[in-house]
Amino acid sequence: MLLDNKTKTDDNEHYKVFDFIKANTENGSLDLVTGYFTINALALMKDHINSVEKFRLILGNLMQEESQINKVIDLLNGDTGISSTLSLSTSAQKAVAFLQQDKVSVKNIQKNFCHAKTYLYTDKTKTKNYFIVGSSNLTDAGLGIKDSSNIELNIAKHDYEDEFKNLKKWFQEQWEKVASEIIELPNKNQIEVKQYIIELIKKLYKEYTPHDLYFKVLYEMFKDDIMELSGDAEFKREIAHLEETVIYKSLFPYQQKGAISLIKMLQKYNGAILADAVGLGKTWTALAVMKYFELKGYTVLLLCPKKLANNWQQYKIGQQSRFEKDEIDFYIRYHTDLQEGRFDCYNDKTLRYFKTRPKLLIVIDESHNLRNDKSSRYKFLINEILLPENKSRDVKVMHLSATPINNKLMDIRNQFKLMTKGLDDGFKQTDLEIESLENIFKTAQKDFSEWANLDDRKIADFIAKLPKKFEKLTDALIVARTRKLIEGEFGEMNFPKKENPINEFITPENIGDLKSFDDILSAISVNLTAYRPADYIKDIQPKSVLEDEKQRQKFLVKMMYILLIKRLESSWFSFKSTVENILNHHINALNKINQYIQSKTDSVIEDDLTEEEQEEIDETAAEINSETEEPITLGKKQPIPLSAITQIDLFKRHLEADIKKLSKLKTSLDKYEADFNAKKAQDEKLNKLIEHITNKQKKSDNKKVLVFTVFKDTAKFLYDELKKRGIPNVAFVSGSISETFDGYSGDKFEPILERFAPFTKLYNEKDWSDLYEKINLSDDYREADKWKVPYKKWLEIIKQHDKDTQYKIDNPIDVLIATDCLSEGQNLQDCDTVVNYDIHWNPVRLIQRMGRIDRIGSPNKTIRGINFWPGKNYEDYLNLKSRVENRMALMTVVGTELDDKMTTTDESFADIAQICLDNGLLNRGDFIIQIASMPIYEKGMTNTLKITQV
């Protein structure tokens, strides 16, 4: 029999749940499981079915702090209307009378969210047993005793067979093993569940004053608006469980508000973007959202860059994070796992598991990395995970990114499309009424292009031109707050003040025989012949295969030029390493050709890239393609045998010419390295870094300095040199290997970070409650159910009781050199100074680097950045003014935090560079792409690269 509280049929007169219970319940026993209950429902039990000889109730968690007692009406009554409120006292007295009976036993499920709704009646004669299972809680709406918009569906059966027996067995297991008859209060006292509920309900015995009634009248008049703003009572009940978690209580008010907004967006649209500025705690806000949906029965899958895995892993069950008691559980996969076969390379779950989850929440950290809807990873995510195998599957997607727009408006459009499982019209049937994401963003991009060409343009004018539906879409699906916005709404927060950055301009020069920067550029103007053998093949069939390979090799050559320039900006040591790799590749190619000419031994010429070079090229290619209407990729290799090369002699001559020029370059680098090691040559850039570190540590009590570089070999070079020069307590961290001054070497960097930032990584992010309990720490350091131990007191406790942690504190890391494996997701606010030893060409990365120390809760009053630029003569290569303004406009669309200095009219290179760095608007690619797009000469090697204004 179906009970939906609405549909009456000839053979189902008792179509409402409570009518069925009244008609079929006599003097047996009734077992109930319900997530929620109302006072009125308990009162009806007392009035209409109190003939039952034994009641057993398993209830969902109603544990509330005393400060939340005003929510009792919402939680227990479910209706704040006038009539129900005036009759509440009578109903409450009946509910208490019902519960006070000895025949009524009550237990509670606290740790888990109780979704089960079950009514089991056992008749004394065993001939009238029944059960009801489905959606109906023990509430007015669930029982059908008041009209409701809820859609309820239950199955009721008189059953003497296995179903009834299995349900009785299941209930008994919950009663004995899961549910508890004791509640632990915030003050650590304990009370029986039944008595706790009785006392809560008794608090509702009160006479309503005119003041109370006045506000009830106001509520009735404006309840539609109020409900629109605050959500319905059912949502409030569900949020009550989240509000009891450690993670939620640890959030700042703006984070709590953000988490609630994200939850509502995900419930309404199946998608949301958290785009708060760097340093505002997106990880913790996301953890609260993840915990909410975990409590609701969702499987949670987190997709993140590989280098951020440890940052998330630390919050899972068993990692002693400060949220350990919440038992937050989720699965982690990397962005690079979004390809066939990679999802199954773990010991937990297979791809099939995630494809078939009926309720799945996917959280994508640094989601701007998945902004290209043409990429294989993007398509894999949609086709293999998001698209449901059945229509009832519930899949939600939450993006995390401080910079969801990197280059174009299409970046954010493609993130919206992931919420709709790739469908262009995925929001058509919602209240957003957007028929086509493609059309709305095409219009917005057109408006932007027109605006960007204006001489006298203002960002406000561009924003005003955006379609109304564009604004509606972003408002409905994005939570993006800046520091200024948060402080305006919540008052002054503990953000450090950012001092003006220090900018150093150092041009690479005096490297062996290469005296000037132009000499260096001339030295690298080689054909890179070994990377493009397909250019020396004529009239091969099929032509399509050859053209594809030619295109791939042409793109690879561009990437290699970019790599050379970027490594030159980084350090001579990194540049030398790549020059040597390129030279060796050309020598190997020439050897293969000579062998083929002499003995006709056929072979192919592989690219021979190191792992780091391949990763850098892949990242650079992705950046270039994100700005290109017709993206080009390295694609799949089509190896061409030497026997297919029809111009083998020309190929050989060009190889020999490249080798000659590269050898001359290597000779200069070898000479410089020898002079450097003999202290006959100086590294001006390195010396300036050491000067800044030394001066800073002499003048400041805070010795911490965080040095960022793009390349692992530059990081290792700096680490070795700083140790040689006597800089104390130094370490370096990369994605694959990390080292410390006192002998550690390995792939794990979390212990190094704990020594570099103990206030953040140990004191703030670990759960120390077990230690406090063990030593019987005074309740003077407890606030409600949370420990509030000052940092100095914590240091005293650690010194006395935790030798391992004390070792980390006594042996600090003060200077940390890192690649961009630390530029995302890490809290390192013990430090007050970030050094950009090279300027990453992706502006997003610059925002992220500074964001490691520019974070709420910093113990520092001020922070500073020190930036090493390639040299002021780069002003000749960059036309930054329009690019800064255009980039600012795009980022403003989604609320990205920008600096007030963007209004400057000073067009000097130093000032613009400083603004770019502060706001992440400098695109090194503007310069590098120009280098890479210079013509490659097939004949003659005398031309020098000419760098023109972009």
Please give the average per-residue pLDDT across 779-807, as a whole number: 89
Please give the average per-residue pLDDT across 704-724, as a whole number: 95
Residue 209 has pLDDT above 90, yes or no: no
pLDDT, residue 186, reads: 59
Q: 842: which DSSP letter? A: S
Q: What CATH code is carried by the domain that includes residue 307?
A: 3.40.50.10810
Domain boundary pick from 677, 711, 732: 677
pLDDT, residue 756, reads: 96
Lowest mean pLDDT among 125-139, 228-242, 356-370, 400-414: 228-242
Same domain, 415 and 533: no
Tens of pLDDT along 439-489? 888 888 787 777 777 777 666 677 777 778 888 888 888 888 877 777 777
End-to-end CA distance of the chain: 75
Residue 103 has pLDDT above 90, yes or no: yes
pLDDT, residue 766, reads: 87
Query: Does residue 813 form part of some domain?
Result: no
pLDDT, residue 661, reads: 93
What is the maximum span of the chain, computed from C-alpha positions, in angstroms? Answer: 107
Same domain, 191 and 258: no
- Name the packing angle between helices 843-850 and 909-919 (round to 10°): 70
pLDDT, residue 128, reads: 84
Query: Does residue 437 form part of some domain?
Result: no
User: Which is nearest to 747 in space by CA: 736, 762, 763?
Assistant: 736
Same domain, 254 and 160: no
Q: Which amino acid is at 39?
A: I
pLDDT, residue 720, reads: 96
Handedness of CA 895, 900, 906, 908 (dihedral sign): negative
* Percent of the residues in the chain that have a pLDDT greater than 70, as a whole number: 79
**Can the peptide bond before residue 542 be classed as cis, meaning omega within 30 degrees of 0?**
yes
| Token reading at 148 | 């409701």
Question: Residue 183, CB half-sphere, CA atoms under 13 Å: how many?
Answer: 22
What Cα–Cα distance (Å) separates residue 815 from each residue in 89, 508, 694? 66, 25, 11
pLDDT, residue 934, reads: 32
Same domain, 523 and 645: yes
| Token reading at 116 | 């089960």
What Cα–Cα distance (Å) separates residue 905 from each residue in 42, 677, 912, 913? 71, 45, 9, 13
Reported as type and span, the H/E element at residue 547 is helix 543-570
Domain boundary pick from 613, 645, 677: 677
Average pLDDT across the chain, whole number:
79
DSSP characters for 308-337?
GHHHHHTTSTTS-BTTGGG----EEEEGGG
Lowest mean pLDDT among 150-164, 168-182, 430-444: 150-164
Tens of pLDDT along 276-297? 887 788 999 999 999 999 988 8
Using only C-alpha atoms, the chain has a radius of gyration, in whole angstroms, of 33
The residues, any chain, with a CB within 8 Å of residue 765's CB and separated by 6 or more, are 314, 321, 322, 827
Report strand pairing: 833-836 vs 154-157: unpaired
Residue 596 has pLDDT above 60, yes or no: yes
Same domain, 645 and 604: yes
Query: Does residue 221 form part of some domain?
Result: no
- In three-state secondary structure terms, 637 is coil
The pLDDT-based confidence of 565 (bands split at 50, 70, 90) is confident
- In three-state secondary structure terms, 424 is coil
Query: Does residue 803 form part of some domain?
Result: no
Same domain, 34 and 169: yes
Residue 108 has pLDDT above 90, yes or no: no
Please give the average per-residue pLDDT across 214-239, as a whole number: 61
Percentage helix, strand, coil, to 5, in the chain? 50, 15, 35
The pLDDT-based confidence of 160 (bands split at 50, 70, 90) is low
Range with top average pLDDT, 66-70, 568-572, 880-884 = 568-572
User: Which is nearest to 576 in space by CA: 520, 518, 525?
Assistant: 520
Tens of pLDDT along 806-821? 999 999 999 999 998 8
- In three-state secondary structure terms, 90 is helix
User: Which is nearest to 895 in space by CA: 396, 415, 412, 245?
Assistant: 412
pLDDT, residue 703, reads: 94
Query: Does residue 836 form part of some domain?
Result: no
Q: Bridge partners of 568?
A: none
Tokens 């519930």 sit at which residue? Answer: 394
Domain boundary pick from 202, 233, 265: 202
Separation of alpha carbons 818 and 848, rounded Å: 13
pLDDT, residue 771, reads: 92
The pLDDT-based confidence of 901 (bands split at 50, 70, 90) is very low
Residue of higher predicted confidence among 381 and 236: 381
Are 114 and 35 spatial neighbours (Cβ–Cβ below 8 Å)?
yes
Same domain, 258 and 396: yes
Question: Residue 540, CB half-sphere, CA atoms under 13 Å: how many?
Answer: 20
Please give the average per-residue pLDDT across 531-539, as a whole number: 84
Please give the average per-residue pLDDT across 299-308, as a whole number: 89
pLDDT, residue 947, reads: 27
Please give the average per-residue pLDDT across 144-169, as a whole number: 81
Q: At CB < 8 A and 24+ separation, what contacts does 197-203 make?
A: 197/59, 197/62, 197/99, 197/106, 198/96, 198/99, 198/100, 200/62, 200/64, 200/72, 200/76, 201/39, 201/76, 201/92, 201/95, 201/96, 201/99, 202/92, 202/96, 203/69, 203/72
pLDDT, residue 575, reads: 93
Report strand pairing: 862-869 vs 833-836: parallel
Q: Which amino acid is at 206?
A: K
Tens of pLDDT along 916-948? 444 433 333 333 333 333 333 232 323 322 222
Residue 912 has pLDDT above 50, yes or no: no
Residue 358 has pLDDT above 80, yes or no: yes
pLDDT, residue 87, reads: 61
| Token reading at 554 | 């042409």
Residue of higher predicted confidence among 461 and 374: 374
Question: Residue 766, CB half-sphere, CA atoms under 13 Å: how many?
Answer: 18
| Token reading at 594 | 């000579």
Burial-class residue 443 by CB neighbours within 10 Å (0-12, 13-18, 19+): middle
Report strand pairing: 815-818 vs 705-708: parallel
The pLDDT-based confidence of 788 (bands split at 50, 70, 90) is confident
Query: Does residue 613 form part of some domain?
Result: yes
Same domain, 106 and 254: no
Same domain, 398 and 326: yes
| Token reading at 636 | 């799949």
Residue 229 has pLDDT above 80, yes or no: no
Same domain, 266 and 375: yes
Please give the average per-residue pLDDT across 258-272, as a whole number: 93
The residues, any chain, with a CB within 8 Å of residue 319's CB and separated by 6 or more, are 313
Report strand pairing: 118-122 vs 130-134: antiparallel
Query: Does residue 320 form part of some domain?
Result: yes
Structural domain of 321: 245-427+477-490
Same domain, 273 and 409: yes
Query: Does residue 623 form part of some domain?
Result: yes
| Token reading at 932 | 């890479």
Are 310 and 317 spatial neighbours (Cβ–Cβ below 8 Å)?
no
User: Which is nearest to 289 in space by CA: 320, 251, 263, 312?
Assistant: 263
The number of distinct structural domains making up the chain is 4
Please give the average per-residue pLDDT across 567-577, as a whole number: 91
Same domain, 127 and 262: no
| Token reading at 901 | 């200095």
Q: What CATH code is carried by the domain that includes residue 20?
A: 3.30.870
Residue of higher predicted confidence among 61 and 753: 753
